[in-house]
Amino acid sequence: PIGKPLHNKQCYVLDAALNPVPVGVVGELYIGGLGLARGYLNHPALTAEKFVINPFYDEKNSRSSKQLYRTGDLVRWLANGSLVFIARADHQVKVRGFRIELGEIEHALTGQSEIKEAVVLAREIGDNNTQLVAYLVSSEAGQQDAELIEQVRGHLRQVLPDYMVPAAFVVLDALPLSANGKVNRHALPEPDMEALRAEYIAP
């Protein structure tokens, strides 16, 4: 967990339309409050990208700021008011000619009740074929991996374009973490290459 906001800061977990998401649902972290910068010096484009008008601004609240800072972190609230880091929203890869935001796929995965945590990586398979691999932690004890994967794949095909649906899924008991508590992507295991090659169909 990242922890709880400082008393003079405000943290919002929002969807793409800047609407708050429920507790436990993944969204992007926005920060406001006292001491928030106005933007980046001599970088108007970056300022416009990272600083947005605060739709929740309350002039009667001394902690409220007119702007929010878009962190690029995908997080979720815990019931105790703490934030948990899930992934970066700006992890981009190119697969089969398509530029893909890995965080968008991870968001779609963790939006399913069966999935507690998820990470998506791009892996090199065979002759320089880059394929997406999803690593899942189930929220339901005792569920068979094959059954879970089939449910998850079916849902993703309904909400994402085909090129964003991972070619392979790996179910883990827990995601490996680094010393600072973030997911250690380098420690994620390789998928079953033979199964992945069999499933992959070249475009």
| CATH classification code of 91-199 | 3.30.300.30
Q: What is the pLDDT along the chain (203 residues), one digit of tens a residue?
A: 677 777 778 899 998 788 999 998 888 899 988 777 888 888 888 888 888 888 888 888 877 888 899 888 888 899 998 998 877 776 667 888 887 878 889 889 998 999 999 999 988 776 667 889 999 999 887 778 889 999 999 999 999 999 999 999 999 999 998 887 888 888 998 887 665 554 544 44
Determine the longest span between alpha carbons in the chain, in angstroms: 61
Q: Domain coordinates of the chain in residue numbers?
A: 9-85, 91-199
What type of residue sits at position 185?
R
* Fold that domain 9-85 belongs to in CATH: Luciferase; domain 3 (2.30.38)
pTM of the model as a whole: 0.56
Q: Are 9 and 33 in contact (CB under 8 A)?
A: yes
- The DSSP code sequence of 134-200 is EEEEESSTT--HHHHHHHHHHHHHHHS-GGGS-SEEEEESS--B-TTSSB-GGGSPPP-HHHHHHH-
The residue written with tokens 């932690």 in the block is: 137
pLDDT at 202: 43
